[in-house]
Structures are given as C-alpha cells and as structure tokens.
Amino acid sequence: MTVLLRAKYENGLFKPLAPVTEGVAEGQEVQIVVDTGQRSDIVDLATQVYEGLSDADVDEVERIALDRYRARDGGRIAAGSQGAGFSLPVPRGHEQ
C-alpha cells in the first residue's frame, strides 16, 4: 500500500505535516522516498537536449544516436524491440 505524506526534516527526523490517519499502524516500519522537488543537473541537461531544434534536426539526432547504439550492440537489438528491460525508440520516419 502506498500513502503519500508530506513531511519536514528537522533535527535528524522526518516530521509529518499532517496527522497520519490511514494506512500506517502505530510502530509499523515503513519505507521513505525523499522527493525534495528539486531537479538534478542531469535532468536539467536532459531537458535541454532538443531545445531550439527543428523536427528535422531532432529526427536526425535520434537517427544518429540509434545508428551508433546499433553499431555498439552489434545489431543484436532492432529498433522498437525489447531488450535488457527497455524498448529502443524508433525515430519518426525510420520505422523498419
């Protein structure tokens, strides 16, 4: 079960901003995933990759990246296929 709780970190402890009224029993151990709402530098860089490029430029960048990936992979994974738990993107207009 997943319950979203907002909390503040103070003096080494996470303190809920509102009473915990559902889904958690007193003394129960839980897992906490910390989301500070701040994006990392890598996310900022990733969002800027295609900034200012035309659709044709984006298609060309994706084609080049996919060609290089296939060359490194020895052609074992085709575009759009499942491999290693992920699916390779197929650039627009380059479907096989």
What is the average pLDDT value for the chain, to the nearest integer?
Answer: 76
Please tell me the pTM assigned to this model.
Answer: 0.37
**Which pLDDT does position 17 carry in this prediction?**
92
Q: What average pLDDT does range 10-27 have in this prediction?
A: 89
- Alpha-carbon distance of 94 to 96, in angstroms, equals 6
Residue 15's pLDDT is 92
**Would you state the torsion angle of the CA atoms of residues 35, 36, 38, 39, taken in this order, to the nearest 10 degrees?**
-20
- Note whether 81 and 66 are within 8 A (CB): no
Indicate whether 55 pLDDT > 70: yes
Measured distance CA(5)–CA(31) in Å, rounded: 12
Please compute the mean of the pLDDT values over residues 70-76 and round it to a whole number: 69
Residue 86: which H helix or E strand, with range? Answer: strand 86-87
